[in-house]
Amino acid sequence: MDEFRSAPPHPAGNAQAASAGSAVPSGSPLLSHETLRSNLADFALAELVRQHRTSFPPPWTIESWAKLLIWLALNSGCAGDTASLEAFAASLGPERSGLLRRLFFSREFEAVGLDLQADPAEAVALLRVPPGGRLPDPEGIAALLEQVGLAPLLVLDRGRWQERAGGLVIPFA
């Protein structure tokens, strides 16, 4: 069930669990076909990003993000020319594209209760701790960064790391 925890419900969806023997939660309005299609598309795109975000080297780069978008476009039936790829990007829209990009450049470390956001365009990686949580020791953090292949891209001089309320900021090299 852990793999489902990382996928937040779609804002238009219903977070209530279905009652036993009922496909629709009691007291909940039925969602329109359009809303259900949109929710399914968002879910499917998010899962594709999660499953393939490490498939396009070099990892944690704008280049890998671009390769993923091209792969999605080609597998959606787009031609490989510039106009088709731009039409695909426009079809995603800025909101969906931004959500997918944040997902692409993030990882969750449920075992230690940390979230990592490391978009190279932001120039820093953010290691967030939930309220009441705490950061691992610096060696543990370095091991987590190594585990996801991010260590070579970040400043590992711990004197340049900035601990802030809710987490740690580590600059890209």
Q: Are 89 and 95 in contact, with CB atoms under 8 Å apart?
A: no
Cβ-Cβ contacts under 8 Å for 136 (sequence gap 6 or more): 112, 114, 144
- Pairwise CA distance, residues 136 & 144, whole Å: 10
* H or E, element range at 53: none
pLDDT bucket at 173, cuts 50 / 70 / 90: very high
When pLDDT is averaged across residues 78-103 and rounded to a whole number, the result is: 96
Lowest mean pLDDT among 68-77, 130-139, 152-161: 130-139
Buried b (16+ CB within 10 A) or exposed e, 136-147: beeeebbebbee
- Pairwise CA distance, residues 154 & 19, whole Å: 47
Residue with tokens 């009652």: 19
Could you tell me the pTM of the whole model? 0.80
* pLDDT score of 22: 43
Q: Are 41 and 56 in contact, with CB atoms under 8 Å apart?
A: no
Q: Are 44 and 38 in contact, with CB atoms under 8 Å apart?
A: no
pLDDT in tens, 120-151: 999 999 999 988 888 999 999 999 999 999 99
Residue with tokens 């931004």: 98
Query: Reduced to 3 states, what is the DSSP secondary structure of residue 132?
Result: coil
